[in-house]
């Protein structure tokens, strides 16, 4: 991206973050309806007066909006007729209301856009984990080259021995039976005049591998590995195409075994075999241009220490529960076996993998006598500790590098406070998001699961959108969800993609899980304010709403998870479905989804759908009030979660009464008991002081209990580990499960007070209602919103409570200060001092 700064007298305006469909300089993505966005900063202007969008192809202007008032920096769709495999430049000019202006430009390039492929699908017969290869000559050095390709299960492309891209785990994980994502890479710099070689390494991934915890559940999209691709090279004014066809060959790779759950076994000295490839027709959906943002090694970490455990094990401690793999120099005499086993916890000081269920989570390397760099290609691990076997003693921890693998998303939010425990909690949430945002929002990264559980994704989406720019990431997830919904009459499966239906058939429709279809699109709308996102996802919302509406017996129509892992059934500790009544939950969420669908439809001018959704929502509300509240307005079967949902969704006929019920339940149990569904909104529905009290508790169950026990990610259960640091007897204890990390949305939205306003989403207007507490000392939040950087800070100082808010260009804040004052704040920095117990006292603005 080129950024141009234009001077207008002394004024400078900076335009950055140029995005198309929320992707930076997208190459080969599905851009059927491109939406353009950008950020203006470093300007004395408060808002945009006019803007001009232009799109060029080969230097020719294809589109010019002229300098007009309507372009929206949050997302503007342009009526473009794009061609396949074509690069476009685009530029935006902005004139501010202060008279300054700026201009910036970027590019995007289309993929194959559904045009026929010259390449054919090829496979190495039944050979697993093979390399498909082809040598060819180029008469001239290329001026440019692109490769369009994909492979199943997972693939890596090498050109002349070098990786063609820094992406890993391509082509991503999705509903391959409905569509297969094709990638485009710019490979010009890797090709040379003369002899060249293409190599496509393949392994099973979820497409042919075990996926889901009961082996008989596994869904096999395609029983063999295969690939399709075409390389297009431009040289000396001529185009050369090298496509996959019968002329390709296969050879064995050093990978003997590869599985997502079990890891990989490498034998570089293995005797190589080769053969001719076969043409094939894999039983998968059509090829489409990709939607997935790239998955990459986003960070590297060195081990923090080397431990010799009481059992005599040699264990590396990465100092952080992370997701990815280790890279190390593998050395040893021929035939020596080096093995790494990955785990999340030490129990009694010893390596433990007690929570991994059937996942072997290992990496094995058989030395061939030569030193080589080792790391897995197609598997990943969730780990803090690595048990080393077969290595020469003494082991040098500096030999090992932890590669943190994640979807490569911009981290947009951060908070620092004067409370070390809260800071660690916030870091843990970010680490759990990094680790579980791996093309699919997964429940956990380590055991035999790692699936796109819809309920987890739904409850965490608000937090996720504060922490990172998730628009493109969720767009892909929701596209898969819609594919699954189309197969299932609108129903949403438990996991997306639904790669687990071989023996049991379709499973879905769970309350609070299926509602991901409406909650995530609405959350994207609130955080990013781009109508095109809502438009794209309205079909998910409508289909799910109608499916639920047709289920008169929804509570008994399928298996529900309820308020999953709630602690409100102490008499039945093994029971995972909390005590909150399922029919109550069904009415709450049916209301919630219909309400959101109605609002989205109204905004998009879909009047009939908006009316239908409004009628349904009213009907659910009435039923809920009639069936679950007594005539005095009290909840008949109160649980903490029931109260929280009724309050948060505006369903309680008497807010005060329900609020009192919630507080008395908390007093009775002495702690929180909420599960996945109640936890995200619990603090928001408590009076400020009580919310803080709960937040800062360190006994079990609480957020800081796990921090106190040294957690570096969020646990699946409130009580996943005992005080002694051993796995509790409950079973199913992931230590990297983001659902309870949904508390971070309270820290951004209430502690720091930054909440998007549904009337003007994307932080065009936002709430600023900070809720400071002396026990935290200070809080400093920075949020790179889609309009630019917002900073919200408070600090208890001698002269009183100091507050500061920075509002970006094009945005306004509706503030409610802790002293009750309401303020409307435009772009710029605003400071307040509230002396004594929050008096007045603005010092500058």
**C-beta of 561: minimal distance to ligand BGC in Å?**
4
**C-beta of 654: minimal distance to ligand BGC in Å?**
32
Is residue 444 at the binding interface for ligand BGC, with CB under 6 A as the rule? yes
Whether residue 38 contacts residue 15, with contact meaning beta carbons closer than 8 Å, is answered with yes
26: its two tokens = 């997208």
**Interface stretch with ligand BGC, choices 442-450, 547-555, 652-660, 692-700 (CB under 6 A):** 442-450
**C-beta of 738: minimal distance to ligand BGC in Å?**
9
Whether residue 494 contacts residue 513, with contact meaning beta carbons closer than 8 Å, is answered with yes
Q: What is the dihedral of CA 817, 821, 826, 830, to 10 degrees?
A: -60
Whether residue 514 contacts residue 548, with contact meaning beta carbons closer than 8 Å, is answered with yes
**C-beta of 737: minimal distance to ligand BGC in Å?**
6
**C-beta of 476: minimal distance to ligand BGC in Å?**
20
Q: Which is nearer to ligand BGC, 266 or 715 (CB)?
A: 715
411: closest CA among 438, 436, 431, 382? 431
114: its two tokens = 């559904």
- Pairing between strand 305-308 and 314-330? antiparallel
Whether residue 497 contacts residue 441, with contact meaning beta carbons closer than 8 Å, is answered with no
**Interface stretch with ligand BGC, choices 408-416, 450-458, 538-546, 704-712 (CB under 6 A):** 450-458
DSSP-assigned letters across all residues of 367-402: --SS-EEE--SS--EEEEEEEEESPPSSP-GGG-EE
Q: How many residues does the chain have?
A: 845
Whether residue 683 contacts residue 750, with contact meaning beta carbons closer than 8 Å, is answered with yes
**C-beta of 464: minimal distance to ligand BGC in Å?**
15
Q: Which is nearer to ligand BGC, 455 or 578 (CB)?
A: 455
Is residue 449 at the binding interface for ligand BGC, with CB under 6 A as the rule? yes
Q: Indicate if the alpha-carbon torsion angle 748, 749, 753, 758 is positive or negative.
A: positive
**C-beta of 449: minimal distance to ligand BGC in Å?**
5
Q: How far apart are CA 596 and CA 615, in angstroms?
A: 13
Is residue 484 at the binding interface for ligand BGC, with CB under 6 A as the rule? no
**Interface stretch with ligand BGC, choices 83-91, 145-153, 379-387, 441-449 (CB under 6 A):** 441-449
Q: Which is nearer to ligand BGC, 121 or 561 (CB)?
A: 561
β-partners of residue 91 are: 54, 105
Q: How far apart are CA 454 and CA 468, in angstroms?
A: 19
In the range 564-623, which residues lie near ligand BGC by CB under 6 A? 564
Q: Which is nearer to ligand BGC, 449 or 483 (CB)?
A: 449
Is residue 230 at the binding interface for ligand BGC, with CB under 6 A as the rule? no
**Interface stretch with ligand BGC, choices 178-186, 277-285, 443-451, 607-615 (CB under 6 A):** 443-451
Is 325 exposed, middle or buried, given 0-12, 13-18 or 19+ CB atoms closer than 10 A?
buried
Q: Which is nearer to ligand BGC, 402 or 512 (CB)?
A: 512
Q: Which is nearer to ligand BGC, 180 or 516 (CB)?
A: 516
**C-beta of 12: minimal distance to ligand BGC in Å?**
48
DSSP letter at 167 equals B
585: closest CA among 624, 533, 557? 624
Q: Which is nearer to ligand BGC, 453 or 522 (CB)?
A: 453
**C-beta of 703: minimal distance to ligand BGC in Å?**
17
- Pairing between strand 238-243 and 249-252? unpaired
Q: Which is nearer to ligand BGC, 185 or 561 (CB)?
A: 561
CB atoms within 10 A of CB 653: 18
Phi and psi at 590, nearest 5°, equal: -60, -40
Is residue 441 at the binding interface for ligand BGC, with CB under 6 A as the rule? no
**C-beta of 455: minimal distance to ligand BGC in Å?**
5
430: its two tokens = 């970010």
**C-beta of 740: minimal distance to ligand BGC in Å?**
10
Whether residue 41 contacts residue 808, with contact meaning beta carbons closer than 8 Å, is answered with yes
Q: How far, rounded to the nearest angstrom, does the alpha carbon of residue 692 sit from its chain's CA centroid?
A: 28
**C-beta of 591: minimal distance to ligand BGC in Å?**
22
Is residue 455 at the binding interface for ligand BGC, with CB under 6 A as the rule? yes
Which of 381, 561, 692, 727 touches ligand BGC (CB under 6 A)? 561
Is residue 464 at the binding interface for ligand BGC, with CB under 6 A as the rule? no
Q: Which is nearer to ligand BGC, 340 or 510 (CB)?
A: 510
Helix (H) or strand (E) holding 131: strand 130-138
Binding mask 397-436 for ligand BGC (x = CB under 6 A): ----------------------------------------
**Interface stretch with ligand BGC, choices 134-142, 330-338, 449-457, 663-671 (CB under 6 A):** 449-457
Q: How far, rounded to the nearest angstrom, does the alpha carbon of residue 482 sit from its chain's CA centroid?
A: 17
Q: What is the dihedral of CA 43, 748, 492, 479, to 10 degrees?
A: 20
**C-beta of 766: minimal distance to ligand BGC in Å?**
31
SS3 for 59-99 is CEEEEECCCECCCCCCCEECCCCCCCCCEEEEEEEEEECCC
Whether residue 836 contacts residue 823, with contact meaning beta carbons closer than 8 Å, is answered with no
Residues 6+ apart with CB under 8 A from 789: 41, 782, 783, 806, 808
Is residue 544 at the binding interface for ligand BGC, with CB under 6 A as the rule? no
**Interface stretch with ligand BGC, choices 110-118, 271-279, 453-461, 596-604 (CB under 6 A):** 453-461
Name the one residue in this structure whose structure tokens are 């949305």. Answer: 745
Which of 185, 453, 473, 477 touches ligand BGC (CB under 6 A)? 453
Is residue 456 at the binding interface for ligand BGC, with CB under 6 A as the rule? yes
448: closest CA among 239, 647, 212? 212
Q: Which is nearer to ligand BGC, 375 or 742 (CB)?
A: 742
Q: Which is nearer to ligand BGC, 288 or 576 (CB)?
A: 576
Q: Which is nearer to ligand BGC, 257 or 449 (CB)?
A: 449
Is residue 443 at the binding interface for ligand BGC, with CB under 6 A as the rule? yes
**C-beta of 398: minimal distance to ligand BGC in Å?**
35
465: closest CA among 75, 714, 744? 744
Number of residues that bind ligand BGC (CB under 6 A): 8
**C-beta of 772: minimal distance to ligand BGC in Å?**
33
Q: How far is CA 539 from CA 84, 113, 542, in A?
A: 26, 22, 5
Q: Is the bond preceding residue 303 a cis peptide, omega within 30 degrees?
A: no
**C-beta of 748: minimal distance to ligand BGC in Å?**
23
Residues 6+ apart with CB under 8 A from 441: 452, 456, 457, 460, 464, 473, 474, 477
Q: Which is nearer to ligand BGC, 147 or 510 (CB)?
A: 510
Q: Which is nearer to ligand BGC, 443 or 530 (CB)?
A: 443
Q: Which is nearer to ligand BGC, 443 or 469 (CB)?
A: 443
- Residue number with the shortest CB distance to ligand BGC? 443
Is residue 675 at the binding interface for ligand BGC, with CB under 6 A as the rule? no
DSSP-assigned letters across all residues of 393-447: SSP-GGG-EEEEEEE---B-EEEEES-HHHHHHHHHHHHHHHHHEESEE-S-SSS
| 3-class secondary structure, 177 | coil
**Interface stretch with ligand BGC, choices 252-260, 447-455, 518-526, 685-693 (CB under 6 A):** 447-455
Note the residues at the interface with ligand BGC (CB under 6 A).
443-444, 449, 453, 455-456, 561, 564
């Amino acid at each position: 991206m080129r950024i141009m700064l234009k001077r207008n007298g002394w004024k400078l305006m900076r335009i950055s973050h140029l995005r198309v469909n929320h992707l930076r300089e997208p190459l080969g993505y599905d851009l059927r309806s491109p939406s353009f966005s950008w950020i203006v900063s470093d300007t004395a202007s408060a808002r945009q007066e006019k803007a001009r969008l232009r799109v060029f192809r080969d230097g020719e202007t294809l589109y010019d909006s002229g300098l007009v008032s309507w372009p929206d920096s949050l997302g503007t769709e342009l009526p473009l007729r794009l061609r396949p495999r074509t690069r476009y430049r685009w530029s935006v000019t902005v004139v501010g209301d202060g008279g300054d202006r700026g201009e910036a430009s970027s590019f995007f390039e289309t993929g194959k856009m559904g045009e026929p492929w010259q390449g054919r699908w090829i496979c190495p017969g039944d050979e697993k984990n093979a390399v498909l290869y082809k040598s060819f000559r180029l008469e001239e050095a290329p001026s440019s080259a692109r490769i369009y390709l994909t492979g199943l299960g997972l693939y890596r492309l090498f050109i002349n021995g070098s990786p063609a891209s820094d992406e890993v785990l391509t082509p991503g994980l999705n509903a391959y039976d409905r569509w297969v994502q094709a990638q485009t890479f710019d490979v010009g710099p890797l090709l040379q005049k003369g002899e060249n070689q293409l190599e496509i390494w393949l392994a099973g991934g979820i497409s042919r591998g075990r996926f889901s915890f009961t082996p008989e559940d596994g869904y096999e999209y395609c029983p063999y590995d295969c690939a399709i691709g075409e390389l297009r090279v431009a040289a000396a004014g001529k185009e050369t195409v090298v496509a996959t066809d019968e002329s390709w060959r296969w050879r064995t790779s050093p990978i003997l075994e590869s599985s997502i759950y079990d890891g990989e076994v490498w034998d570089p000295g293995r005797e190589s075999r080769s053969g001719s490839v076969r043409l094939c027709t894999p039983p998968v959906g059509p090829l489409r241009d990709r939607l997935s943002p790239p998955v990459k090694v986003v960070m590297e970490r060195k081990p923090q220490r080397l431990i010799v455990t009481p059992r005599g094990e040699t264990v590396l401690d990465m100092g952080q529960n992370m997701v990815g793999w280790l890279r190390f120099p593998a050395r040893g005499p021929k035939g020596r076996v080096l093995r790494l086993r990955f785990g999340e916890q030490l129990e009694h000081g010893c390596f433990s993998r007690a929570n991994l269920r059937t996942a072997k989570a290992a990496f094995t390397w058989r030395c061939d006598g030569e030193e080589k760099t080792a790391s897995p290609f197609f598997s990943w691990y969730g780990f803090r500790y690595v048990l080393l076997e077969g290595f020469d003693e003494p082991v040098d921890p500096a030999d090992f590098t932890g590669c943190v693998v994640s979807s490569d998303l911009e981290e947009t939010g951060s908070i620092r406070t004067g409370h070390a425990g809260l800071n660690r909690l916030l870091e843990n949430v970010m680490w759990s998001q990094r680790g579980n945002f791996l093309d699919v929002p997964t429940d956990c990264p380590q055991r035999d699961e790692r699936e796109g559980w819809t309920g987890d994704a739904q409850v965490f989406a608000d937090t996720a959108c504060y922490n990172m720019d998730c628009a493109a990431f969720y767009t892909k997830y929701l596209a898969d969800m819609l594919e699954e919904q189309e197969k299932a009459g609108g129903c949403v499966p438990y996991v997306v993609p639904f790669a687990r239906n071989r023996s049991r058939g379709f499973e879905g429709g769970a309350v609070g899980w299926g509602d991901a279809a409406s909650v995530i699109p609405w959350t994207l709308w609130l955080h990013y304010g781009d109508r095109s996102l809502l438009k794209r996802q309205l079909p998910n919302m409508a289909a799910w709403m109608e499916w639920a509406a047709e289920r008169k017996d929804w509570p008994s129509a399928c298996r529900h998870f309820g308020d999953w892992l709630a602690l409100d059934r102490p008499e039945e500790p093994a029971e995972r479905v909390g005590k909150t009544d399922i029919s109550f939950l069904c009415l709450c969420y049916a209301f919630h989804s219909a309400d959101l669908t109605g609002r989205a439809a109204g905004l998009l001018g879909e009047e009939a759908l908006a009316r239908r959704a409004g009628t349904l929502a009213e009907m659910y509300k009435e039923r809920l009030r009639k069936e679950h509240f007594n005539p005095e307005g009290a909840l008949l079967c109160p649980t903490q979660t029931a109260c929280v949902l009724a309050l948060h969704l505006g369903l309680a006929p008497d807010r005060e009464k329900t609020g009192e019920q919630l507080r008395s339940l908390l007093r009775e149990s002495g702690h929180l008991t909420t599960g996945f569904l109640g936890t995200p909104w619990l603090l928001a529905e408590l009076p400020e002081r009580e919310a803080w009290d709960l937040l800062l508790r360190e006994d079990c169950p609480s957020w800081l209990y796990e921090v106190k026990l040294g957690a570096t990610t969020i646990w699946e259960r409130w009580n996943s580990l005992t005080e002694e640091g051993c796995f509790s007897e409950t079973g199913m204890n992931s230590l990297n499960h983001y659902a309870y990390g949904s508390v971070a949305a309270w820290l951004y939205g209430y502690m720091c007070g930054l909440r998007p306003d549904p009337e003007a989403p994307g932080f065009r207007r936002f709430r600023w209602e900070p809720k400071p507490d002396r026990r935290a000392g200070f809080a400093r939040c920075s949020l790179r919103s889609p309009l630019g950087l917002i900073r919200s800070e408070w600090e208890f100082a001698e002269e009183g409570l100091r507050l500061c808010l920075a509002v970006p260009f094009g945005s306004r804040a509706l503030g409610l200060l802790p002293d009750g004052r309401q303020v409307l704040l435009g772009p710029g920095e605003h400071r307040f001092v509230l002396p004594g117990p929050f008096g007045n006292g603005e010092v500058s603005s």
